[in-house]
Amino acid sequence: MLSEELTQIPAISALAESYGAAILEGGLSRGEAALYVDPVRIIEICRFLKDEQGFSRLSGVTAVDWHPVEPRFEVVYLLQSLPAGQGGPPQTARLRLKCRLHGEAPEIDSVYGVWRGADWYEREVFDLFGIRFREHPNLTRILLPEGWQGHPLRRDYPKHGHKYDYGEET
């Protein structure tokens, strides 16, 4: 279960109370809290953290590929709380959520409905890692041209020497 120093963080202890079964693992290293959560319940957890615990901002969404280890993908959500109070420096807190996904047809629910800012970040992860986000309103490639073969940030994608015809033949 979660270590004592993690449960001292109010947001995490509240989350553990309501969604204890969905938290698979957690750690606090170098002052940064990170939780591995059940990918099936990501939307509920994000909504809880946003609505009840004040994590009003999603700084970004990214992924890490641990190929050839399975489950190879880790989708990482960078959350931040930003108190609404004005004047004086806001006391912000950060939290990382991670979801492990298997390499075969990796899929996870989109958190677009929770934070609109997830839109481009999820498209970027889809583009570069090939992870599908269910219910995303416009899951298309964002950085690479349409019709690009493969997902460059996967570890098994070559660092040099890919072959691509830039669509001239089609």
Taking CB under 8 A as the rule, does residue 86 contact other proteins?
yes
Q: How far apart are CA 85 and CA 148, in angstroms?
A: 46
Q: Count the residues of the shown chain that bind other proteins, applying the rule CB under 8 A.
A: 41
CB of 59 to other proteins, least distance (A): 6
Contacts 24+ apart (CB under 8 A), 61-69: 61/111, 61/118, 61/121, 61/122, 61/124, 61/125, 62/121, 62/124, 62/125, 63/125, 63/128, 63/129, 63/131, 63/153, 65/129, 65/153, 65/154, 65/155, 66/155, 67/103, 67/154, 67/155, 67/156, 68/156
Closer of 43 and 76 to other proteins (Cβ): 76
Taking CB under 8 A as the rule, does residue 43 contact other proteins?
no
Taking CB under 8 A as the rule, does residue 68 contact other proteins?
no
Question: Could you tell me which stretch among 1-9, 12-20, 28-36, 41-49 binds other proteins (CB under 8 A)?
Answer: 28-36
Question: Could you tell me which stretch among 7-15, 41-49, 85-93, 99-107 binds other proteins (CB under 8 A)?
Answer: 85-93
Among positions 21, 30, 163, 166, the unique one binding other proteins when judged by CB under 8 A: 30
Structure-block tokens of residue 130? 């090939």
Taking CB under 8 A as the rule, does residue 60 contact other proteins?
yes
Q: How far apart are CA 154 and CA 151, in angstroms?
A: 6
Q: How far apart are CA 74 and CA 23, in angstroms?
A: 15
Taking CB under 8 A as the rule, does residue 119 contact other proteins?
yes
Taking CB under 8 A as the rule, does residue 122 contact other proteins?
no
- Provide the binding-site residues for other proteins, judged by CB under 8 A: 29-30, 32, 34, 56-60, 62, 64-65, 76, 78, 82, 86-92, 94, 96, 115-117, 119-120, 128, 141-146, 152-153, 155, 157, 159
